[in-house]
Structure 1
Amino acid sequence: MAKESRPPMGFQLLVGFDMTERGEGFSRCELEVEEKHLNPHGVVHGGVVYTLADTGMGAAVYSVLEPHESCATIELKVVYIAPVRAGRLVCESRVLHRGRRVIVLESEVRNGDRLAAKALGTFAVIANSNQGGEDGQ
């Protein structure tokens, strides 16, 4: 069951990506490449791709957490496969393993039909002491 979407805020607004789909252990986020996303060489900055993977994985994690749990990124490795200069980036993230304390995920970032990057991440499962939701409230 997909969790209710909320409007873009904070860092998501700054970078300019949209969370377009969330399901059980899955998420998709998308970004239309703009000049602000490019490095001095005219290629999308690696941090933009990393941000899509990290945020997409976080959304996929939240879909498998209990209401009293939250998460934090432990580590994330990105393999940059092809440069991106323009177009739309689509990041699909999937939970590979959900343990009691650790969740392992993968992401693929595509530019059209072209694979731009693959990522593997590990997230910690944290018990909320305040019983808050994904925004800590």
Structure 2
Amino acid sequence: MTARPEKTSFPLKEHLGFTIHDGEATGTATLQLDERHMNPHDVAHGSVAFALMDTAMGAAVMSVIDEGATCATIEIQTRFHRPVSSGLITSVATVLTAGRRVVHLEAKTFDESGHLIASATGSFAVIQPSA
């Protein structure tokens, strides 16, 4: 399996404004926080960190599955460690185990000072192309 180029555009990526990169069994998603990402208390909404980790995990999965296959989230367990209200946040996902049908991962999201703001573990289904 080889790393695949980033998909240039999809609606959620464009709406939230993040970037995505994959490596060998890893994925990274970054986002510059702005007012679109805040909850009513001027702190980044938890769904923003979740979406970033979900996307980074998807990129990591895509780097280890066969060409032509795709993936879908089965489940993600998320923990929020500290609030963040500005700056660049980065989610880094790593494949823990990759089977033919399911890939298990972990992800961590950091603020620009390197503080851990959220972490997650997840499982993704591998979807083989139809014959």
The TM-score, its normalising length taken from structure 2, stands at: 0.93
Deviation digits for residues 30-64 of structure 1 (CA, Å, limit 9, x no counterpart)? 00000110000111001101000101100000001
More moved, 36-45 vs 63-72: 63-72
Cα separation, 2, equivalents of 1:29 and 1:70: 18
Match for 1:122: what amino acid?
Answer: S
Cα separation, 1, equivalents of 2:5 and 2:50: 24
**Aligned match of 1:117:** 118
The TM-score, its normalising length taken from structure 1, stands at: 0.89
Cα separation, 1, equivalents of 2:89 and 2:59: 17
Note the aligned Cα RMSD (angstroms).
1.2
Report if the CA contact (8 A) 2:3-2:64 is conserved: no
Match for 1:69: what amino acid?
Answer: A
* Deviation of 1:70 (Å): 1.4
**Aligned match of 1:41:** 41
Structure 1: 5+ residue runs without aligned partners?
A: 131-137
Report if the CA contact (8 A) 1:8-1:18 is conserved: no
Cα separation, 2, equivalents of 1:45 and 1:2: 30
Match for 2:120: what amino acid?
Answer: A
**Aligned match of 2:29:** 29
Deviation digits for residues 82-109 of structure 1 (CA, Å, limit 9, x no counterpart)? 0011111001011000012110001000
2:13 counterpart of 1:12:
yes
Cα separation, 2, equivalents of 1:3 and 1:68: 11
**Aligned match of 1:83:** 83
Q: Secondary structure at the match of 2:42?
A: coil
Cα separation, 2, equivalents of 1:5 and 1:68: 15
Q: Identical aligned pairs, as a percentage?
A: 39
Runs of 4+ with deviation above 3 angstroms = none
Give the total of aligned pairs: 129
